Copies of this chain bind each other. A is one copy, B any other.
Amino acid sequence: MKVQAGSLVSGLPPRPRAGEVTETLCEQPGVRIERIVSTGQVTPDGQWYDQDSDEWVLVVKGSARLRIDGEAQDRELGEGDYMFLPAHCRHRVAWTQSEPPTVWLAIHIFTKC
Contact = CB atoms under 8 A, between A and B. Distances in A.
Given A28-B54, A33-B107, 16 more contacts: A2-B86, A3-B68, A5-B82, A7-B80, A7-B82, A8-B58, A8-B80, A25-B84, A26-B84, A29-B112, A30-B109, A30-B111, A60-B60, A105-B105, A111-B111, A111-B113
A89 interface: yes
By DSSP majority rule, is chain A's interface helix, strand, loop, or mixed? Answer: strand
Contact of A9 (B4, B79, B105, B107): B79
Interface of A: 1-10, 25-26, 28-31, 33, 54, 56, 58, 60-61, 68, 75, 79-87, 89, 105, 107, 109, 111-113
A65 B62 CA distance: 26
Contacts of A85: 3
B80 A9 contact: yes
Given A8-B80, A9-B79, A105-B58, A30 B113 contact: yes
Given A31-B30, A54-B28, A8 B82 contact: yes
Nearest to A53: B28
